[in-house]
Amino acid sequence: MKYLAFLKEKIKSYSFKDLLFLETESLVFGILTHVPTTFGVILRAIALKAFAQRCGGFAWLQQRATFVHMDRITFGKNFGVNTGAYINGVGGIEFGDYVLIGNNVTISSGMHPIDNVNIPVFSRPAVPKKIVIEDDVWIGAGAIIMPGVRLRKGTIIGANAVVTGDTEEYAVMAGAPARLLRLRNKHV
Ligand SMILES: CC(C)(COP(=O)(O)OP(=O)(O)OC[C@H]1O[C@@H](n2cnc3c(N)ncnc32)[C@H](O)[C@@H]1OP(=O)(O)O)[C@@H](O)C(=O)NCCC(=O)NCCS
């Protein structure tokens, strides 16, 4: 009974429709993520088309890439994501065309408020902060894209970077917090 009370507390901010969507998404992708070979990639691409808010083309999802709230994520043409990535669309995510995401990347569009020390962070539902990732962006392995960030056209994010702010067009970023290394289209 105590566990039921705990569950109730944990899901209190979700509508029934949200819960139904999240459970179905978790079931379908939880199974499909284990299907190896190109056949698995094709099955996941079909599921993505069905679950995403919008998908403008083809998607290449490797095994063990996890999505939450795909109904709040829009995908452009030619989207690729590698193993172990975690993409949470709670606050909305827009992907442009030709976006490539490395293994173990985290993109999460919500943040738990931390301003009130009298309420445990655990009990504060995530505040939505939309992330926009424009065309021709490559995100290196292990990078973290913070809530609310916009990666402008042509941005490259280095391995293990922590991206806390918007980027310029064609920026090459690295480090934690990520800093500009150079622009792809000119010397800086
Ligand atoms: C960011 C990146 C694209 C830069 O490549 P590059 O332009 O060829 O840069 P360089 O190798 O010439 O390095 C330039 C400087 O940045 C530093 N740097 C490069 N990548 C870095 C990273 N990920 N984090 C921190 N610093 C980095 C280098 O040490 C070098 O510093 P220095 O000038 O003090 O010597 C590349 O290093 C990278 O991280 N690629 C992602 C690879 C990956 O994740 N692959 C698998 C996913 S598909």
pLDDT digits (tens, 9 = 90+) for 2-26: 999 989 888 888 999 999 999 999 9
User: How far, in Å, from the CA of 151 to the mean position of ligand 1?
Assistant: 17
Q: Residues enclosing ligand 1, CB less than 6 A? A: 82, 102, 140-141, 156, 158-160, 172, 174-175, 181
Hey, whose CA ends up nearest to atom 12 of ligand 1?
Answer: 181
138 within domain boundaries: yes
156 within domain boundaries: yes
Q: What is the mean pLDDT of residues 76-94?
A: 98
User: What are 2's two structure tokens?
Assistant: 């105590």
pLDDT in the model for residue 187: 63
CA separation for the pair 167, 138 (Å, rounded): 13
81 within domain boundaries: yes
What is the average pLDDT value for the chain, to the nearest integer?
96
CA 132 to chain centre: 10
Q: How many CB atoms lie within 10 A of CB 12?
A: 9
CA separation for the pair 146, 162 (Å, rounded): 7
Q: Give the model confidence (pLDDT) of 33-75 as tens digits.
A: 999 999 999 999 999 999 999 999 999 999 999 999 999 999 9
Q: What is the mean pLDDT of residues 167-178?
A: 98
pLDDT in the model for residue 1: 77
Hey, whose CA ends up nearest to atom 32 of ligand 1?
Answer: 181
Q: What is the mean pLDDT of residues 117-132?
A: 94
Structural domain that includes position 62: 15-181
Who wins on pLDDT, 11 or 97? 97
- If one counts the domains in the chain, the total is 1
8 within domain boundaries: no
In this structure, what CATH number is given to the domain that contains residue 112? Answer: 2.160.10.10
188 within domain boundaries: no
Q: Name the amino acid, one letter, at 17.
A: K
Helix then strand then coil, in percent of the chain rounded to 5, is 25, 30, 45
Tell me which of 99, 136, 151, 181 to substitute to probe ligand 1's pocket, judged by most ligand atoms within 8 Å of the beta carbon: 181
pLDDT in the model for residue 67: 98
**Whether the predicted pLDDT of 188 surpasses 80:** no
User: How far, in Å, from the CA of 174 to the mean position of ligand 1?
Assistant: 7
**Whether the predicted pLDDT of 126 surpasses 60:** yes
CA separation for the pair 50, 119 (Å, rounded): 38
**Whether the predicted pLDDT of 136 surpasses 90:** yes
CA–CA distances in Å: residue 13 to residues 17, 125, 148? 12, 7, 21
CA of 100, closest atom in ligand 1: 48
73 within domain boundaries: yes
